[in-house]
Amino acid sequence: MHKRLVTRYAMKSAEAADENQRRVEGVFTELEETKPDTVSYIVLRLADDSFVHVSFHNHTDDEVNPIASTAAFAHFQDGHGDRREGGVDQQTATLVGAYITTLA
């Protein structure tokens, strides 16, 4: 994998988190339709209604990002600052290990 990103942010309310979740689900729907093979993507909603996005990118910086280039991601970003409490913490990460049997 070329790049691994971890992004975390808080939401202003449970209602804002619900709307955020609906928009994230739209991104996954579009990814399921287009089936890009250069990215893996996981989003977690935590108990405090904050979100953590983990993405694994196997494309170069000058190639199209299969997540950010979707119409659903543009919709997700629209008004994101209004739903969010505070800023976005995004960092690159090093994969230490992974064991995944089922995503549910």
Reported as a single tens digit per residue, the pLDDT across 41-96 is: 999 999 999 999 999 988 887 888 899 999 999 999 999 999 999 999 999 999 88
Strand 39-45's sheet: what is its strand order?
A: 39-45, 51-57, 3-11, 84-92
Tokens representing 1?
A: 């994998």
Q: 31-38 — which CB contacts under 8 Å span 24+ positions?
A: 31/66, 31/67, 31/70, 34/66, 34/70, 36/66, 36/67, 38/63, 38/66
The predicted structure's pLDDT at residue 97: 86
The predicted structure's pLDDT at residue 47: 97
Instruction: Report whether 40 contacts 55 (CB < 8 A).
Output: yes
Consecutive H or E run containing 44: strand 39-45
- Its pTM stands at 0.89
CA–CA gap between residue 60 and residue 34 (Å, rounded): 19
**More confidently predicted of 57 and 15:** 15
**More confidently predicted of 100 and 50:** 50
Task: Give me the amino acid identity at 64.
Answer: V
Task: Read off φ and ψ for residue 19, nearest 5 degrees.
Answer: -65, -40
